Amino acid sequence: MKRPNRSARSAALVGDETSPLLACTPASWVEAAAERIPELLVDHANCEKKAASTALALIFAYPEDRALAVALSKLAREELKHFEQVDRLMRELEVPFVRQKPGRYAAELRRCLHSREPRRKLDLLLVSALIEARSCERFDLLAERLPTTVAGLYAGLRESEARHFERYLRFAESELPGEAWRPRLEELAAVEAELATTPDRDFRFHSGPPSGAR
């Protein structure tokens, strides 16, 4: 797999054989995050809720896939626990909840989804794997850069998100065994890498570096 835009720092996942990610988060995004912790936490809390709701939506969309339903039921509960952890930290740090416009990352990835089955199910699993993997990579980077109050939480969440992306990938693999899922993963991963690394109008947990950041 070609790995464009790889920075000198070897982030935990990019470059790893098991990682679906094609590009490291730019250092300018990490620096923006360190300067904008309240915004980061608000969006992160939203991401955890969204991760739980995505898992539930998949359970409803594919009820006949009972192995998927049971795995995602557990995953959704973990995501809601993460939400509660972030909410607790926001209260400790006196970060108010502020409504934010949805960012471009999830919207653009959603535009790539096939509309027809069985391709749609494969795409949903692969996109979920990519989002979880990006979360995992960013938790790792932020755990090194942010103050200990936030870094401690992020170091702990990293492990869960690693399990989540692996789980989604295994289910994708079982949809199209024999490596046939991999070319589609590479197509979606190229879009994801672009979204995570190119200048973005809004700063979000999964955004590119905010426009104006150097």
CB of 2 to Fe ion, least distance (A): 26
Q: Return the SS3 of 42.
A: helix
Residues composing the chain: 214
Q: Does 161 bind Fe ion (CB under 5 A)?
A: yes
In the bound state with Fe ion, the residue whose beta carbon lies nearer, of 132 and 175, is 132
Cβ(13)–Cβ(140) below 8 Å: yes
Q: Does 164 bind Fe ion (CB under 5 A)?
A: yes
CB of 45 to Fe ion, least distance (A): 10
49-88 positions binding Fe ion, by CB under 5 A: 51, 79, 82
Locate 24 and state its tokens. 């490291």
Number of Cβ within 10 Å of residue 57's Cβ equals: 13
- State the DSSP H helix or E strand holding residue 134, giving kind and residue range, or none if neither: helix 119-145
CA gap 31, 170 in Å, rounded: 33
CB of 55 to Fe ion, least distance (A): 8
In the bound state with Fe ion, the residue whose beta carbon lies nearer, of 82 and 121, is 82
Could you give the angle at the alpha carbon of 110 between the alpha carbons of 206 and 89, nearest 5°? 30
Q: From residue 118 to residue 137, what is the string marking binding to Fe ion with x (rule CB under 5 A)?
A: --------------x-----
In the bound state with Fe ion, the residue whose beta carbon lies nearer, of 164 and 204, is 164
Catalog residues that contact Fe ion under the rule CB under 5 A.
48, 51, 79, 82, 132, 161, 164
